[in-house]
Structure 1
Amino acid sequence: MTETKQPGDQFVQSLARGLAVIRAFDAENVSMTLSDVSRRTGLTRATARRFLHTLVELGYVRTDGRVFELTALVLQLGYSYLSGQTLPQLVQPLLEELSAQLHESTSASILDGADIVYIARIHTRRIMTVGITVGTRFPAYATSMGRVLLAGLPEPELERYLAAADLRPLTPRTIGTPDVLRAELARIRRQGYAVVDQELETGLRSVAVPIHAPDGSVAAALNVSMQVRFEDAGRNLDDLAAEVLPQLQAASRKATDALRAKQEPRVPPRS
């Protein structure tokens, strides 16, 4: 039996509970009553009430007396992390240029556990039922960027991921077994890009490529997302991917070069 890890003596339970209350809000639970929050966090109503009203006083939550919602102030919690990162600053102008060339939505993400996390995005129109912003998370196995990132993992890390992955069928097309996903990741590794056709959401296709760190590892992924058009219904996916790959790969090379240049020490000019 697996032993449950116990918190250390430096663990602050009240902070953990407060963060749990914030994380209870998501795209499907934007507004919640006290009972809703209590149920989703496992906290008693009295405890949930104290944390909610503390968050209201701090400005992270608002309420009309019955329903609670997060405020925009919670974005500071994520942006404090992102603002210290190099990648979002490097890729944002590249995504803008790429989107202008292709007239499609473009994004960049990193791998965080079993999910991808968006670090930058340019959207031309809403292409999913769930709005995508910086900080949005999706399961890596069902996304083009996630598969690029998984394909770049060292073999032991990938096997640990596959052993623990919950490959739920998000659409009828979603890859649902570790063996099939392993084979697809091997193909992505060989060809250098991923194409996902309506596996995250029906009607959505995307193509992704890796951004490499100076040591050669995969640091992040770039993608182009597009809606399935009637005229493309019978076309080969690789042919569709070929239409955006040159621009996508060029943006990836620029991002990879920028990361390398940032790390390389500057040599002072000779006198």
Structure 2
Amino acid sequence: MSNSVSGLKTVERAFEILELLKEKKEIGVAELAREMDIPKSTVHDYLRTLTSMGYAVNENGKYRLGFRLLEFGGQLKYRNRLFHIAKPELERIAEQTDEIVSVNVEDRGRFVILHAEHTSKSLQLGIYPGITIPIHTHAAGKVMLAGYDDGRVDEIIDQHGLTAVTEHTITDRDELEAELETIREQGYAVDWDQQVVGMGVVAAPVKVEDQVVGSIGIVTPTDHLRDEEYCAELASEVQKSANIVSVNYQYSP
């Protein structure tokens, strides 16, 4: 094996360890070695290096992610133009509705929450910047899919599939295509119980020169969306907000 290939494998394995630390929250060397099917001595070498660099922390023999990663995530968000443009609108809607409001992007075919605002009366779902979920399971993801051309949609579905997250998740390709067409016609999306049972979402796309750059979503209890009048109010509000963000994104200095 060439040195370059060996080096790339080393980097890949380091990130696999970070992914497992994220998934497990904390884990010991022996368990991590079993998960990765590599020697404990090798795992220990990786963890020692990651710890020395601040990406992992050793607490009584258990390892967890280090706060150094928070610096990267924080900078990524605060350097993002969409975050800064959307934040005032998210704050306004959250204060007005007492619902969770988020601005979202697509990354490598996955739905990513860039930022969320909420109040003490909002659902407490543990939503945080950077959380990543299957894009087809969430109205704020589907409004982005609806704005892509067929080739891009095919690429995302071929790569990630249509995995069920709840019993209500759309897993049929034709059914998803029909919903995307409805979203295109009405300009917004509504669904519930597809990503979390009891959670509903109303969302609209943020577009710049007809290109989707993200979405605005309002997260509310499912029962709220069964009230047609309230659902219509949220749909109107999220469309207005997405339009404001779209214009400001294009023209603000």
TM over 0.5: yes
1:142 pairs, out of 137, 142, 148, with: 137
Tell me which residue corresponds to 2:222: 228
Tell me whether 1:25 sits opposite 2:15 in the alignment: no
User: Could you say what secondary structure the match of 1:205 adopts?
Assistant: strand
Contact 2:91 2:117 in 1 (8 A): yes
TM value normalised by structure 1: 0.84
Check the 8 A contact 1:115/1:138 in 2, yes or no.
yes
Match of 1:116 in 2: 111
Question: What stretches of structure 1 of length at least 5 have no aligned partner?
Answer: 1-6, 264-271
Q: Give deviations 1:105-132, integer Å, cap 9, x for gaps.
A: 1001101123111111112257365x21
Structure 2 counterpart of 1:160: 155
Look up the match of 2:180. 185
Q: Kindly provide the CA deviation profile for residues 202-242 of structure 1, in whole angstroms up to 9, marking residues without a partner as x.
A: 110110100112x211110001001234xx58x36x54420
State the AA in 2 paired with 1:24: L
The answer to whether the 8 A contact 2:95-2:119 is kept is no
The one of 214, 232, 235 aligned to 1:242: 232
Q: Say which is worse superposed, 67-76 or 195-204, in terms of deviation.
A: 67-76
User: What secondary structure, in the 3-state scheme, does the structure 1 residue paired with 2:21 have?
Assistant: coil
The alignment covers a number of residue pairs equal to: 250
SS of 1:159's equivalent in the other structure is helix
Larger helix share, 1 or 2: 2
1:53 to 48, 60, 70: 48
CA shift at 1:141, angstroms? Answer: 0.5
Alpha-carbon separation, structure 1, partners of 2:21 and 2:80:
25
Structure 1 Cα separation of the partners of residues 26 and 166 of structure 2: 26
Would you say 1:91 and 2:86 are equivalent positions? yes
1:120 is matched by which residue type in structure 2? H
Maintained 8 Å contact 1:118/1:137? yes
2:89 is the counterpart of 1:107: no
Q: What is aligned with 1:219?
A: 213
1:24 is paired with a residue whose SS is helix
TM-score (norm 2): 0.89
Stretch deviating more after TM superposition (63-72 or 178-187): 63-72
Aligned-residue Cα RMSD (Å) equals 2.3
Q: Distance in 2 between matches of 1:79 and 1:257?
A: 25
Q: Aligned pair 1:81/2:76, yes or no?
A: yes
